[in-house]
Structure 1
């Protein structure tokens, strides 16, 4: 492998930038490469077969660019594809899943809500997570169709986006949830608006930092001194990726067009 050793990160779009931000804070010396597969977003509305093929395609590209560890910074892709990726590619993968366990530990009332894509909530991996950690305290599960897609459009103050947040937070507010899991990496970008809907006493759970810590435990390569700024790739709107990167304090990151063929994916 001729290219410098890097950590690869990918998501259906810009949401995984919240994980990239945590990775950079935890591993400031590591080279980071990010792929936003925005041309195929949102993943939450796609079939598992489609998600696996897209995940393979992105993984191949990241390995070609020097990735020696890959973070699947997408709850939906983790649920649908990470087991197959680990069996097919000879490098470590770190996935992400909704933070049910820390939410239950944090909640004083045991009233926990989960905001996530429909695909994540219906996945076998998520159901197993519930069975392990929440069998006696069933959380309020709120599917959020269209919310990640609205974030992908890049205008976080758009009226239709705010209407979706209001609609999806209302059942959690009515159930008096005191802790709410942000079960999609796009949702931390909306944390301020979600907090305003739920109220200041509700605690929001974002799992980006635990994912970064797990990646740090697995990262066994020599440090780059100094590390170059992250390289960000997208097959979607470059301006949206640039704007969201700046919002995630990645102003020095470089943004590039990614135009890999879909390898037969529908």
Structure 2
């Protein structure tokens, strides 16, 4: 399919987690324009019904396509589990890149045959995770934890505080007792606390961040379709949130390392959204 190289990459997540993927895309393709939608008004997605997450994802996709997104990154493991297959059927003219739990590289790397997986309940319950485990985890023992409350702490910018550490220790210390040597991050929020995770598990345990491989996949698809930007200038990033735009704006230097304007989006119902970028 033909892709206009001047159009932006569309990215969405339930909140700030997808900024870990945006960050990797900016490092890989700094010349690309990006539109980012954080559905902070509905966070967290993890405990929500699959059908509701699909409805949110469809409406956000419409929003991004109205703003000329040339490819859409579902930078949310929960939304990928609940909606990625549906979105590809609903919007066959656009390419989607989703988040797949990095069980395959973990299974290839582990020496002990024991791997920890941190993800949301919806990700663990989804067919995508089950498929990945069935295909790649033969002979590997997986230890799963939903890290309840961690997404909310990260949304608040609490990347090193006591409550964040407690959630991670409660998840990881029992896994270490089982002799895991690899940890899979199955939620795009979690890369922001990799330094804390590494402190807890030690340097001998590998922590797998899927964001760089997602960025490379986006680049491959754009190059294959002739849609990669040819500009030599750094691309613009536009943010939209269904939460508090001022709060998100103040957090961008922490999560992304750069500043940007943030537009406010209002949900009218599960299907219709409306919003504008600040002038």
What does residue 276 of structure 2 align with? none
Offset of 1:264 from its aligned partner? 5.2
Tell me how far apart the structure 2 counterparts of residues 56 and 212 of structure 1 sit (CA, whole Å).
22
Higher mean alpha-carbon deviation, 246-255 vs 20-29, is at 246-255
Q: Deviations over 1:143-192 (max 9, x none)?
A: 22221122122222343222211111122111121110011000011111
Offset of 1:114 from its aligned partner? 0.5
Tell me the SS of whatever aligns to 1:156.
Answer: coil
Tell me how far apart the structure 1 counterparts of residues 146 and 232 of structure 2 sit (CA, whole Å).
43
Tell me how far apart the structure 2 counterparts of residues 5 and 14 of structure 1 sit (CA, whole Å).
23
Tell me how far apart the structure 2 counterparts of residues 225 and 69 of structure 1 sit (CA, whole Å).
20
Q: Say yes or no: does 1:187 pair with 2:194.
A: no
Please report the RMSD computed on the Cα atoms of aligned residues, expressed in angstroms: 2.0
Aligned residues: 265
Tell me the SS of whatever aligns to 1:10.
Answer: strand
What does residue 55 of structure 2 align with? 53
What does residue 243 of structure 2 align with? 236
TM-score normalised per structure 2: 0.89
Map 1:151-230 onto structure 2 (within 5 A): 151-219=154-222, 220-221=226-227, 222-230=229-237
Where structure 1 has 5 or more consecutive residues not aligned to the other structure, the ranges are: none
Tell me how far apart the structure 2 counterparts of residues 29 and 12 of structure 1 sit (CA, whole Å).
25
Map 1:79-98 onto structure 2 (within 5 A): 79-89=81-91, 90-98=93-101
What does residue 130 of structure 1 align with? 133
Q: Deviations over 1:28-78 (max 9, x none)?
A: 221111011011011111110010000011111111111010000011100
Offset of 1:225 from its aligned partner? 3.9
CA contact under 8 A between 2:8 and 2:68: conserved in structure 1?
A: yes
Q: Say yes or no: does 1:25 pair with 2:27.
A: yes
Tell me the SS of whatever aligns to 2:183.
Answer: strand
Tell me how far apart the structure 1 counterparts of residues 138 and 78 of structure 2 sit (CA, whole Å).
22
What does residue 78 of structure 1 align with? 80
Tell me how far apart the structure 1 counterparts of residues 145 and 70 of structure 2 sit (CA, whole Å).
35
Provide closer, same or farther for how the CA distance between residues 252 and 126 of structure 1 changes in structure 2, counting only shifts above 3 A.
same
Offset of 1:200 from its aligned partner? 1.9
Higher mean alpha-carbon deviation, 155-164 vs 140-149, is at 155-164
Tell me how far apart the structure 2 counterparts of residues 121 and 110 of structure 1 sit (CA, whole Å).
20
Which one of the candidate residues 106, 126, 130 is aligned to 1:103?
Answer: 106
CA contact under 8 A between 2:82 and 2:126: conserved in structure 1?
A: yes
Higher mean alpha-carbon deviation, 190-199 vs 53-62, is at 190-199
Tell me how far apart the structure 2 counterparts of residues 32 and 231 of structure 1 sit (CA, whole Å).
6
Higher mean alpha-carbon deviation, 161-170 vs 186-195, is at 161-170
Where structure 2 has 5 or more consecutive residues not aligned to the other structure, the ranges are: 273-279
Runs of 4+ in structure 1 off by over 4 angstroms are none
What does residue 248 of structure 1 align with? 255
Tell me the SS of whatever aligns to 2:51.
Answer: helix
CA contact under 8 A between 1:118 and 1:145: conserved in structure 2?
A: no
CA contact under 8 A between 1:140 and 1:172: conserved in structure 2?
A: yes
Higher mean alpha-carbon deviation, 126-135 vs 147-156, is at 147-156
